[in-house]
Structure 1
Amino acid sequence: MKASAHLPLRLTFALTLLPAALAASSLAHTQNRPAQNPPPRAQNVPAGNAQKGKYALSTHMCATCHGPEGQGAVGPAIASPPRPFGDFARYVRQPAGKMPPFTAQAVSDADLADIYAFLQSANLAPPSNLSTLTGNAQNGNRIYASYGCYECHGRVGQGSQSTSAPRIGPPALTIDAFARYIHTPTGNMPPYTSTVVSDQDVADIYAFLKSLPPAPSAKDIPLLNQ
């Protein structure tokens, strides 16, 4: 009788401690469970080398979408990034949209630091007066031919597999990005400085390329639908 008299008190004490025990067990389980989306490996960022970063931006094909100076092209502008390096690394490792992820095996943390340093150092001031110029498509056609642009990009800017030159007509780039593509290209294309190709020349070539009809879709090509 004496032992049974104390049973409710012991039971009450045990029930009082049960929530704390369950919470401690849950916390321990959470801490021991591996993270499903671990952050990028780069935490202690090495000092980036901007010159190496410019090379890495090209070799890792970042420039294909983001431009040779990160000014944006098919993809968004990434130059002079206001975001911290950790956020930039996550953008590369775990991107959104159509951009493929680049693992640490594909692009090392050191390469990321170099690219980041280059993007921070990039001077993206647009050409002085392009936004105020009116292009002349007829003169642009003449300049396009006289500078031999057609030899790689085709007579109507359609591009060429044999020269690996991309399609540029009609251009998907803004006129400022198009000017940078001419002045500071990537790949095998030689640079055409503003001394060689003036702002007015760029505006005229751009107007010519803009006047061209877009490429037909596959469904509109009879040979591909036979």
Structure 2
Amino acid sequence: MAGRPSLRPAGEAAALCPRDHASMAIQRWRSRSLAPRHCESRLAPGSPTCTHHHRRREGPSMRYLGVVLGVFVLFVALAATASAEPQADPVKGKATWEKSLCARCHGAQGEGKFAGPRAGDTRTAAQWITQVRTPRANMPSFTAQQISDADITDMLDYMKTLPAVTGFTPPASTAKAGDPPGKALIFQKRCIACHGENGPVANFASTNRVPTTADVLKQLRAPKSNMPVFSDKQVSETEAAQIADFLAMQVKAPLPKSGEPVSLGLIAAVGALLLGSGFAIRKLT
């Protein structure tokens, strides 16, 4: 065991056996490992072991400080996120509402028309955005290209400046008993809000094309214009086929102009033709 200092006087060092050396080594190891627990009573303050012990006692305070710092960082991050969100502009929202398709169903001032009122709405911007993107019931969806989140927020802020509407009653359907199912669906699905009762018919009639179920489904699922998207939850394939059948029936028959009966229109056309022929005959003679 050369090289290790002896705890006995120099004269007694030679009398130590290997077992004594092992016992002394264990005692030294135990004294070092147990010293931090009793440094206040056995070691002088300021020693490395004592400093280590005091650091251990200060551990909970450091953890509390870390929690406080974490909460502060989270607060700053939330504040930065809130400031980054677009600020609502009710004046801009009014202009957007009046030119959007929203007013066609919900009324020019959110008073309700073919759909329920939105004036005085108390929902949040996030709820409005969700309703526009993934609506429930009969309302179609609008993409971000058709209307942005900022526009939705502006319109909501405008609606909040208007008084709430009570006692709203939607208009009754003009479909009568015995009418094709498609006529009632055009009203029920609120197609007439944008197209009018004969609007979809006129669109197909102007191209001299009889609409099919595939045509109607294509326009409902992936419209090319500002028309919103109708999913199968809003309009099923069966309902689309019924709408197509009704439109096809109307396109095949001549559409009267300005609400005039077809017979009067034909009489007027024949009269104009005869009058023109009379002028032509007089010139020749």
TM bucket, shorter chain: 0.3 to 0.5
The normalised TM-score by structure 2 is: 0.34
Bigger RCO of structures 1 and 2 (CA < 8 A, at least 6 apart): 1
Query: Which has the larger Rg?
Result: 2
The normalised TM-score by structure 1 is: 0.40
Considering fraction of residues, name the structure with more helix: 2
